[in-house]
Amino acid sequence: MQPRLFLRSLLFSILLLPVVQCVYAQDAIERLWYNHEKTAKIQVFKATDGKYYGKIVWLKEPNRDGKPKVDINNPNKAKRNDPIIGLQMLKAFKKDGDNHYEDGTIYDPKNGKTYSCKITYKGDHLEVRGYVGISMLGRTTVWTKAE
């Protein structure tokens, strides 16, 4: 191998290393997920506070009566004109172990209610359990990876 080519390859590898480390540092749930009905895509991300959040970034039917859907069921009247796309529905999850996330909340724009929530990562899907009070009093839905 020529010295010049070797140096270029070495330099390229050194410059690429931080990018590769960044990709591998990303947590498994940090990606796009379809909700159970596949009517929405939720982007899950880790915020600067070290907790995980999720916001709606796509809707199968983004409009109602020719206008973008808004959060009409929000208990806070001031937020009822906020668009559903961009709505943060998962908040403040802490990672507990390799594939469990807990102590967060999930907001359901269909009824305007917020529930305690825990998430379990299972490879190609998430088990999202919303509940009131104790986890036994709740419901689990399965979200799948969105490509």
Q: Is residue 68 part of a domain?
A: yes
Alpha-carbon distances of 56 from 13, 34, 94, 107, rounded to whole Å: 36, 10, 20, 11
**Strand ranges for 60-97 from DSSP E:** 63-64, 67-68, 88-95
Give the mean model confidence (pLDDT) for residues 122-142: 93
pLDDT at 128 over 60: yes
Q: What is the pLDDT confidence band of residue 125, given thresholds at 50, 70 and 90?
A: very high
Give the mean pLDDT of the chain. Answer: 88
- Residue span of the structural domain in which 55 resides: 29-145
- In which element (H, E) is residue 121 found? strand 113-121
Rounded (10°) CA dihedral 103, 125, 146, 95: 30
pLDDT of residue 25: 67
Q: Say if CB 43 and CB 54 are below 8 A apart.
A: yes
Q: Is residue 4 part of a domain?
A: no
Q: Is residue 46 part of a domain?
A: yes
DSSP 8-46: HHHHHHHHHHHHHHHHHHS-TT-SEEE-TTSSEEEEEEE
Q: Is residue 8 part of a domain?
A: no
Give the mean model confidence (pLDDT) for residues 122-146: 94
Give the mean model confidence (pLDDT) for residues 86-97: 97
- What SS3 state is found at 130? strand
pLDDT of residue 17: 45
* Domain total of the chain: 1
Q: Is residue 16 part of a domain?
A: no
pLDDT of residue 26: 84
Based on the number of CB atoms within 10 Å of its own CB, is 40 exposed (0-12), middle (13-18) or buried (19 or more)?
A: buried
Q: Is residue 62 part of a domain?
A: yes
Q: Tell me, what CATH number does 92's domain have?
A: 2.40.128.520
Q: Is residue 99 part of a domain?
A: yes
Q: Is residue 10 part of a domain?
A: no
For residue range 1-54, list pLDDT tens digits in order: 565 554 455 445 554 444 444 444 689 999 999 999 999 999 999 999 999 999
